[in-house]
């Protein structure tokens, strides 16, 4: 284990097993209808790659980037779209993938923006959910794991752009960011 990690919340195997279950839930929901998967960069790239290999409907894939925490561990509360999607999504079923839902701000803003473009439907899948910190009235349709209110890293999630490559979800030692 990386020496900056306090503890592991979910191992690589546990995440893999849960992603497979989520794929089944999503396949059962769409029943073969085509879907445009939109992955929120950069955190959800591990999740999207693992998940869509197991989806059995026709999938188009696109990416969107919104501003995040910068190098801090507390949300700044202002969301900016840094990179928009490229596909035309009018009349399409959208499945929006995020790494984690915390206050709900990111999801809330992106959902509203995509809805305004005349999509047929929009559903959301989050790998991790921190229900304790929700501020916006927005919920994910498919959730991997609920987690406690701790700053987590790994499986795509970063602290100051580091630790995304860890295959597990871990809690960072406070000494790494409290100096
Ligand atoms: P929200 O807008 O729901 O407050 O936050 C969503 C975004 O904040 C996520 O996409 C992620 O980038 C970041 N975030 C929220 N909680 C955590 C966390 O515990 N660890 C990391 N690395 N990022 C987080
Ligand atoms: Mg981030």
pLDDT at residue 78, as a whole number: 63
C-alpha triplet 58, 59, 63: angle, nearest 5°: 170
Instruction: State how far Cα 159 lies from the chain centre.
Output: 15
CA separation for the pair 2, 153 (Å, rounded): 11
Instruction: Tell me which residue has its CA closest to atom 5 in ligand 1.
Output: 102
User: Could you report the per-residue pLDDT of 6-46, keeping only the tens digit for each?
Assistant: 999 999 999 999 999 999 999 999 999 999 999 999 999 99
Ligand 1 pocket residue status of 101, Cβ below 6 Å: yes
**pLDDT score at 74:** 57
Strand partners, 172: 5
Query: With a 6 A CB cut-off, is 99 part of the ligand 1 pocket?
Result: yes
Compute the average pLDDT of residues 154-175: 95
pLDDT in tens, 46-82: 999 999 999 999 999 999 998 755 555 555 556 778 9
- Residue, of 63 and 109, whose pLDDT is higher: 63
Which tokens is 140 given?
A: 């994910």
Residue 105 pLDDT:
86
* pLDDT at 136 (0 to 100): 81
Atom of ligand 1 nearest to the CA of 44: 10
102 catalytic per annotation: yes
Mean pLDDT throughout 124-149? 91
130 Cα nearest atom in ligand 1: 16
Ligand 1 pocket residue status of 158, Cβ below 6 Å: yes
């Amino acid at each position: 284990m990386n020496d900056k990690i306090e503890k592991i919340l979910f191992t690589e195997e546990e995440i893999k097993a849960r992603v497979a279950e989520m794929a089944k839930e999503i396949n059962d929901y769409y029943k073969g209808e085509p879907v445009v998967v939109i992955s929120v960069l950069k955190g959800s790239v591990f999740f999207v790659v693992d998940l869509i290999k197991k989806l059995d409907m026709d999938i188009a894939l696109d990416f969107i980037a919104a501003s995040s925490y910068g190098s801090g561990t507390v949300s700044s509360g202002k969301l900016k779209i840094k990179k928009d999607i490229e596909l035309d999504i009018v009349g399409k079923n959208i499945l929006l993938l995020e790494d984690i839902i915390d206050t709900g701000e990111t999801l809330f803003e992106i959902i509203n923006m995509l809805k305004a473009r005349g999509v047929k439907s929009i559903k959301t899948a989050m790998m991790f959910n921190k229900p304790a910190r929700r501020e916006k009235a927005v919920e994910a349709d498919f959730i991997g794991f609920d987690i406690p209110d701790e700053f987590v890293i790994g499986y795509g999630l970063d602290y100051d752009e580091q630790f995304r490559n860890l295959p597990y979800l871990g809690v960072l030692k406070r000494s790494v960011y409290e100096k």
